[in-house]
Amino acid sequence: MNSIVDILVLVLVGFIAGSINTIAGGGYLLILPVLIFLGLPPNIANGTNRIAIFFQNIFTSAGFRSKGISTFPFSIYIGVSALFGSIVGAQMAVNIKGEIFNKILAVIMVFVVVYMVIKSKSRLSSTTVKSSGKHLWLSIFLFFFVGVYGGFIQAGVGFVILLILSSVNNFSLLKSNAIKVNGCFNLYNGCSCCFCI
């Protein structure tokens, strides 16, 4: 992975993936196969991509804050839960053989792509945000498993996050994206980076 062409491909794909991740999620599905195709072992490609996501989330989160979109303290609660889950998932990722990781990645990528193609645009039954009480506790519980999944593979985790935030908590797409890239998820991605590299 030394040639100028490889570097240009990575910069272009990274830019596209970062844009996709900021809007909704799924850029990981684009960049991870490119890194593997360019010769990185799967677990190194997985960890390398986490570094890019970590920095992307810092700048995206700052952009949301500059527009006055705040998700505090809700994002702290679910971010900490996801952080602990990501430790479990990242440990799983580094302890698995490359061939098995590739097979799991392939299955997950197919599942996520199929989900993206067939998902229907569901309307929220209520526009009232539900971020306290039982809805908060359900989100904290679910985001632990989001962390496990994200720490292990990361592919499509943005869609899972948006699905939970919109269906359990009735957050708008804008607020859901702000929560998704909030600083707490930077901790979760950063933790995953440390384990996966």
The 3-state DSSP class for residue 69 equals coil
Residues 6+ away with beta carbon under 8 Å from 1: 38, 39, 40
Dihedral over alpha carbons 124, 84, 181, 106 (to 10 degrees): -80
The 3-state DSSP class for residue 164 equals helix
Q: What tens-digit pLDDT sequence spans the chain (197 residues)?
A: 568 888 899 889 988 888 877 776 677 778 888 888 888 887 788 778 777 777 777 777 778 778 888 777 888 889 889 889 888 888 887 787 767 777 777 777 677 667 656 654 554 445 788 889 999 999 999 999 888 888 887 767 777 888 888 888 989 888 888 888 764 454 455 455 444 44
- CA dist 119 and 33 (Å) reads 23
- CA dist 120 and 55 (Å) reads 31
pLDDT digit string (tens) for 105-156? 777 767 766 765 665 455 444 578 888 999 999 999 999 988 888 888 776 7
Q: What share of the chain is helix, strand, coil (3-state, %, to 5)?
A: 75, 0, 25
Q: Say if CB 22 and CB 151 are below 8 A apart.
A: no
What pLDDT score does 72 carry? Answer: 79
